[in-house]
């Protein structure tokens, strides 16, 4: 008797990448897109490891511009080079842009209707849930050492409680974390 073979996803293609990013762009709302990307490329297709995905997510969030676009560029390039990056960005931006224009026209006409308000609130709740899910996955990956945990708590307090400007919290926290890693690497701790 032979052992069952594990599910192996076919390698990505340019048209396939465009369709995946188009579907994600057309079915995702707000900050929850990174959760869909994690599920699609790490959990379902196993094209990228979770560690690589989270590293790419950190880079995408640190760079200027829209995080989802940055992540599409990173994933597309990682899988299929510069062509993959171009196709991924086109997939995540172009089809949803057409839908947004259409929906903007419809919502503009129906904005005062109570059902419209309920639908918008539901979409916001879904996006919040997906963002929370991504936050939990990311928090699980933080090394269980005092400095990274302190930085995570300090960031939450600075932004969530003290309402400090995000840009200064990111610059300060990012600088401290880079400095910490640099010193740790120099000491041979990694």
What are the boundaries of each domain within the chain?
14-141, 143-190
C-beta of residue 76 within 8 angstroms of C-beta of residue 86: yes
Tell me which H or E stretch contains 63. none
C-alpha–C-alpha distance, residues 139 and 153, integer Å: 11
C-alpha–C-alpha distance, residues 138 and 116, integer Å: 33
The rounded Cα 165 to chain-centroid distance in angstroms is: 22
**Terminal-to-terminal C-alpha distance of the chain:** 45
pLDDT tens digits in sequence order for the chain, 190 residues long: 555 555 567 889 999 999 999 999 888 766 678 888 888 999 899 999 988 998 888 888 888 888 889 999 999 999 999 999 999 999 999 998 999 899 888 878 888 888 888 888 888 888 888 888 877 887 777 667 888 788 888 988 998 899 999 889 989 988 888 888 888 888 875 5
Tokens read off for 8: 């192996």
C-alpha–C-alpha distance, residues 123 and 186, integer Å: 47
Closest CA to 67 of 78, 52, 79, 56: 56
C-beta of residue 88 within 8 angstroms of C-beta of residue 72: yes
Beta strands in 59-183 (DSSP E): none
- Rounded to 5 degrees, φ, ψ at 102 are -65, -50
């Amino acid at each position: 008797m032979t052992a069952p073979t594990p599910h192996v996803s076919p390698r990505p293609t340019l048209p396939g990448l465009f369709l995946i990013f188009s579907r994600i762009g057309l079915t995702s709302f707000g900050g929850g897109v990174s959760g869909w990307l994690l599920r699609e490329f790490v959990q379902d297709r196993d094209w990228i490891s979770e560690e690589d995905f989270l590293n790419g997510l950190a880079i995408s969030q640190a760079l200027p511009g829209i995080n989802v676009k940055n992540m599409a560029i990173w994933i597309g390039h990682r899988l299929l080079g510069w062509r993959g990056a171009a196709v991924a960005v086109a997939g995540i931006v172009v089809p949803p842009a057409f839908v947004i224009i259409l929906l903007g026209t419809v919502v503009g006409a129906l904005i005062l209707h109570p059902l419209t308000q309920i639908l918008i609130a539901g979409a916001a709740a879904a996006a919040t849930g997906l963002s929370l899910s991504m936050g939990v996955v990311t928090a699980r990956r933080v090394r269980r050492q005092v400095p990274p945990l302190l930085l995570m708590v300090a960031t939450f307090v600075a932004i969530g409680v003290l309402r400090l400007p995000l840009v200064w919290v990111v610059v300060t926290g990012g600088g401290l974390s880079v400095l910490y890693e640099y010193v740790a690497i120099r000491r041979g701790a990694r």
